[in-house]
Amino acid sequence: MPVSGIDASDIVAFAAREGNKMIEAQVNMKAKLFAALDKQPMKGRRSVINVVNGGLASTAQVVDFGALPSEAASVPAQGFVDAVGYVSRLGLGRIALETLSGVDDSADLLDLQLQIAADDMARQIGRAVFGSELAAPTAAGSSVTQVGGSGTVVTITVNFTGGLSDFREGEAYHFETGGSPNTDNFLVLCTNVAIVSDNVVQVTFICGPGAVPGFSSGTYADNLLTATGGTPASPGPSVAGAVVATDRLFLRGSRNPGDPTTGVVPAVPGLGNSNASAVSLIDVTSTSSALHGLSAGTNGWTGLTFTGVGAPTPEMFMGKSKLLQGRSGVAPTHLVLSDLASAAYGAAQISNASATVFGVTSNTFGARRNVDGKLDRYGKDADLESGIAMFGRPVVIDSNCPAEEAYMINKDYLKVGEWKKLSAEDEGGSPLLLSRSTYSKEVQFSCIYNLVCRKRNAHARLTGVTIA
């Protein structure tokens, strides 16, 4: 019996109660766009939705007693949305549970574990909204080494431009080599994120022994080294591999994983998105890919992407928003920016709001929108907004947005489908789950969400946003 007089059920009840609140709070803080979008209840593994897909051919001008146009034999367009699950498992060692020295000890243990689980869940959900493929590596400064020889851990060090918020220490990611043909997909563990400059980070990953549980064999590490152009050697040092610009990293679970020993993806299902790959804003704004089962290019069901937009100035965003409105017939309700792009945009607003008269600089108009906590025509709650406006439209600053991209969305036509709200799993009336493979117990948090778009041409992606 624990010295404190509390038992495992007390601890788990605390975890379930406080964990739900903590994860929801973290999602609201660290997945701003996801939190701002309205949630739409969904049913079924694959839900059917009605979408706005073009107009009617029977619309025409008429004169008195003129012939009416034949009614359009048009069936409302329907697509489908798949349920995508997210999970985070909070492990509690059974010895630790039974030997806690008191309430403070147990609360401290759980609070730390819950914070990690909440942060991980918020990062995974928030980043998936913008796409499961993460920042592309740059060749400069990369290396793939295996110091201990064949069968030992492989260390990958690589620089990323715009990857400041994509990677988190302790999380696992899919690493796909860019060879042709490419059949490899390895799970790697992020161990360090170092800032090189404002928009460049150097990230360290490990693969093989001591890395991702279940994918930690020496053969697995050797195969990754070989896939990157290196050569395992035993005894003695191995020949180093290299990361190239065509190598890619993805959120765990969004791609079909390779064999846990070889890293090779079987012919079926093949290399590509898994069934757990969520709809993202990249999918919504794509000019060529299908969305919700409907091909792009049919009537108005086509995305819009502006490339090489340059400096994030109010005039640039207003011009693009007018083009978007002219094409779709509806104005964007929100502008979504990354942390760095928002800083550059805010500086441009302040700069444009200043004038120098007789050597004295003064503000000529209010550069920032007043946020007072009241409900907003375009926002869910004002505290989810940034206080920066785009000519009256609120700007959402989301750290999960790629640094050199921006998005214009209309939240009337973009929602989050919700099958299961964030909560602790329940088994037999208790959130305490007994592990079948290790001497531990766990609390498992999960949710089921996906993006739902009903009018595809109401949203736009802007790439090439300069932040220097």
pLDDT at 350: 65
The pLDDT of residue 250: 94
CA dist list (Å): 293 to 80, 84, 284, 287, 440 = 6, 16, 12, 15, 42
pTM of the model: 0.82
Alpha carbon of residue 244 to chain centroid:
23
User: Contact at 8 Å (CB) between 251 and 176?
Assistant: no
**Residue 322 corresponds to which tokens in the numbers above?**
């007018």
* pLDDT at position 443: 73
Asked if 399 and 339 touch (Cβ cutoff 8 Å), the reply is yes
Length of the chain: 468
Alpha-helical (H) ranges within 331-386 are 339-352
Tens-digit pLDDT profile for residues 326-344: 988 899 999 999 888 888 8
SS3 at position 243: coil
User: Which positions ≥6 away from 186 have C-beta within 8 Å?
Assistant: 174, 175, 176, 207, 215, 220, 223, 224, 227, 258, 263
Average pLDDT over residues 204-216: 94
Note the Cα 361 to chain centre separation in Å. 41
Digit-coded pLDDT (tens) for 151-177: 999 999 999 887 777 898 999 999 998
CA-based angle 404:227:271, to the nearest 5?
65
Q: What is the pLDDT of residue 368?
A: 39
- Stronger pLDDT, 44 or 174, i.e. the higher one: 174
How many CB atoms lie under 10 A from the CB of residue 305? Answer: 14
Instruction: In whole angstroms, give the CA distance from residue 349 to residue 337.
Output: 14
Distances (CA, A) of 155 to 8, 259, 295, 296: 39, 20, 41, 41
Please name the amino acid found at residue 301. Answer: W
pLDDT band of 100, cuts 50, 70, 90: low
Q: Where are the alpha helices (DSSP H) in 242-313?
A: 281-285
Nearest to 347 by CA among 376, 374, 368: 368
Question: Exposed, middle or buried by CB within 10 Å (0-12, 13-18, 19+), for 402?
Answer: buried
Is residue 86 over pLDDT 60? yes
The per-residue pLDDT for 105 is 59
In this structure, are residues 466 and 105 in contact, taking their beta carbons and an 8 Å threshold? no
Other C-beta atoms lying within 10 Å of the C-beta of residue 56:
10
pLDDT tens, residue by residue, 416-452:
999 998 877 776 666 667 777 788 777 778 889 999 9
**What CA–CA distance (Å, rounded) separates 110 from 92?**
9
Q: Which two tokens stand for residue 80?
A: 């489908």
Tens-digit pLDDT profile for residues 256-295 = 999 999 999 998 888 888 877 789 999 999 988 899 988 8
d(CA 83, CA 86): 10
Of 453, 454, 463, 449, the C-alpha closest to 124 is 449
Which helix (H) or strand (E) covers residue 33, if one does?
helix 32-36
Per the rule left: phi > 0, alpha: psi between -120 and 50, beta: everything else, 5 is: left
Residue found by looking up tokens 């025409």 in the block: 60
Instruction: Lowest mean pLDDT of 124-128, 177-181, 193-197, 314-318, name the range.
Output: 177-181
Averaged confidence pLDDT in the chain: 81
- Structure tokens of 230? 């290196």
Q: Which amino acid would we find at residue 27?
A: V
In order of 19, 81, 82, 418, the CA distances from 44 in angstroms are 27, 10, 9, 11
**Confidence band of 179 (pLDDT split at 50, 70, 90):** low
Compute the distance between CA of residue 388 and CA of residue 395 in angstroms, rounded to an integer.
6
Give the separation between CA 303 and CA 291, rounded to whole angstroms. 9
Looking up tokens 């005039």 gives 315
Averaged pLDDT for residues 356-384: 42
Residue type, position 456, single letter = R
- Largest CA-CA distance found in the chain, in angstroms, rounded: 94
Tokens of 438: 């290790």
Extract the tokens encoding 266. 């079987």
**Predicted local distance difference test score (pLDDT) of residue 325:** 92
Buried b (16+ CB within 10 A) or exposed e, 183-204: bbbbbbbbbebeeeeebbbbbb
